[in-house]
Structure 1
Amino acid sequence: MTIEFYKYQGTGNDFVMIDNRSEAFPHDEKLVQKLCDRRYGIGGDGLILIQNFDGVDFEMVYFNADGSQSLCGNGSRCAVSFSKFLGIIDSETRFQTIDGPLEAKINGDIVELKLNDQEYPVKNEDHYFLNNGSPHHIIFVERAEEAPVVKQGRTIRNSVKYSPEGTNVNFVEVKDQHSVYVRTYERGVEDETLSCGTGITASCLAAADKGLMSPIKVTAPGGDLEVKFKNTQNGSFTDIWLIGPALQVFEGRVVL
């Protein structure tokens, strides 16, 4: 069987995108691993299926490169861009994810994704933790560029504390009251990725505890994003938006 696919990237976080409204593509972990392999497959940090779902415009089914599933912020933004390309949506959408229905807006290459409301991140002695559809261990560092992201991130990701599911690990450098630099060790990819949307959002919410104010400009190795949010009086965040580019890179066909 031959499947048509598209490749998208959101600030360097790249995904294999498949229109699966016909349900021809099987939900197969080994197949996802093969297609996401950068040497023997197409290559990508994850694979995304666009499917039909009652009551919303579409469903985004997201797989990490290892075949596991979670919410993906940049993947969600790329799914919105892809659905616009397919003619499913226009400038606004409501779509289904593993974390429930989400809303988004698209204007050209820029996609604004509204995430679900969140409680304040759990503050520990040397880190914060927040699960916003994906789990994130957040560390504030002086110089993110010098942080041992892969070595330390892999150790934390595989620690007994987060066993057996593991966690993503974000290294955050505060630049000023409205900007941060974020690097991420991503669970499911098992390496540093150029950008992680849910991790960047979680990092900004944790940074609010350090006095940073919305909107927060975010620099990642793969590019720039913005996170907006509102603090509530009952210890939570609402009106959370992840904003940045989502671009089609190429298209092709693969024999399964």
Structure 2
Amino acid sequence: MSLTLPFTKGHGTGNDFVIVTDPDGALDLSADQVAALCDRRFGIGADGLLRVVRSVAVDDGADAAAGGAEWFMDYRNADGSVAEMCGNGIRVYLHYLLQSQLADLDEHGILIGTRNGSLRVTRSDLGYEVDLGAYRIEPGEVLVRARGLGVARPGLRVDVGNPHVVVALPAEDELAGLDLTAVPVLDPVPAAGANVEFTVPADPLVVDGVGRVRMRVFERGVGETLSCGTGVAATALAVREWAGAAAPDRWRVDVPGGTLGVRMVDGHVLLSGPATLVFSGQITLA
């Protein structure tokens, strides 16, 4: 039996998503159906899927509903697997809510439910800013092997609601020479897997009180993407950790899809950047 599904395509600095509206939680998309929608040759093409659903209509949204978050971001990776959160995705999600007149945004922002709790999103000079909440620098290094690296490099484990391993590289040419069509190999492998970021700090690292770095990312369940919001936050946190006590609390991170901002405030990390809706249509799934 076929399913005809209205959708919208959106992106945040090139990290792109299929958006489907399901306010009452009537859709039950399988992993194969999500993967088909996100397939870049046979589907719409995207790094993931955002299902727009009310918190009260989804099992994972009970706490969000109780805390006052009307909407829940049901995020799925491109392979159909369930993910905790997406920093670029939540900005695109909010932009879709506003453009569809499903929500309003005042100076206090709006709470959106995720599998990493309810997160507040406000407007910013770069577009929207999301408070990703508390973060953790995890103990113990992970050795990372990637195609294009001559030797394994140590990575710092950073948790910003989903797991990341950040690797520092010494030069731009080494960053550019990475072949991220192959999955990086982690040793030891984190229990839930991890997104892997490779970064090169700018020289000078800090200008006018703002740190600058460049980054590429391999997202678990997706592959290399043009941007990863939580990965940008994790990268800024890792470089700040390596730089020591004098490092700034404001960062600009360049990714292949653009530039994102990161702030650290009272033990929380905040991510800011643009959100764009590209086109809408309908697709029929088997």
In the alignment, does 2:238 pair up with 1:206? yes
Aligned to 1:252: 281
Q: Tell me how many residue pairs correspond in the alignment.
A: 247
Aligned to 2:119: 102
Please identify, of 81-90 and 213-222, the stretch whose mean Cα deviation from structure 2 is larger: 81-90
Aligned to 1:217: 252
DSSP-derived class of the 2:81 partner: coil
- For 2:98 and 2:165, locate their aligned partners in 1 and report how far apart those are by CA, in whole Å: 33
Q: TM-score, normalised by structure 1?
A: 0.89
- Residue ranges of structure 2 left out of the alignment (5+ in a row): 56-64, 143-153
In the alignment, does 2:133 pair up with 1:116? yes
- Percent identity, aligned pairs only? 33
Please identify, of 164-173 and 120-129, the stretch whose mean Cα deviation from structure 2 is larger: 120-129
Aligned to 2:214: 181
In the alignment, does 2:182 pair up with 1:171? no
1:207-251 residue CA offsets vs partner (Å, 9 max, x unmatched): 111333121011000001100013x6xxxx32x210000000111
State the shift of 1:124 in Å: 2.7
- For 2:39 and 2:117, locate their aligned partners in 1 and report how far apart those are by CA, in whole Å: 28
1:101-156 residue CA offsets vs partner (Å, 9 max, x unmatched): 00001369711111111123436382200122221110011224533544597132
Aligned to 2:263: 228
* Residue pair 1:4, 1:18 contacting (<8 A) in 2 also: yes
Look at both structures and tell me which one has the larger radius of gyration over its CA atoms: 2
State the shift of 1:21 in Å: 0.5
- Residue ranges of structure 1 left out of the alignment (5+ in a row): none
Matches within 5 A, 1:1-256: 1-53=3-55, 54=65, 55-70=68-83, 71-91=85-105, 92-106=109-123, 110-122=127-139, 124=141, 126-147=154-175, 148-151=177-180, 154-156=183-185, 159=186, 161-162=188-189, 165-175=192-202, 176-177=205-206, 178-189=211-222, 191-211=223-243, 212-230=247-265, 237-238=267-268, 240-256=269-285
1:51-87 residue CA offsets vs partner (Å, 9 max, x unmatched): 1112313000000001112211111111111111121
DSSP-derived class of the 1:241 partner: strand
* Residue pair 2:181, 2:224 contacting (<8 A) in 1 also: no
Letter in 2 for 1:113: V
* Residue pair 2:4, 2:282 contacting (<8 A) in 1 also: yes
Q: TM-score, normalised by structure 2?
A: 0.80
- For 2:126 and 2:6, locate their aligned partners in 1 and report how far apart those are by CA, in whole Å: 22
* Residue pair 2:4, 2:283 contacting (<8 A) in 1 also: yes
DSSP-derived class of the 2:183 partner: helix
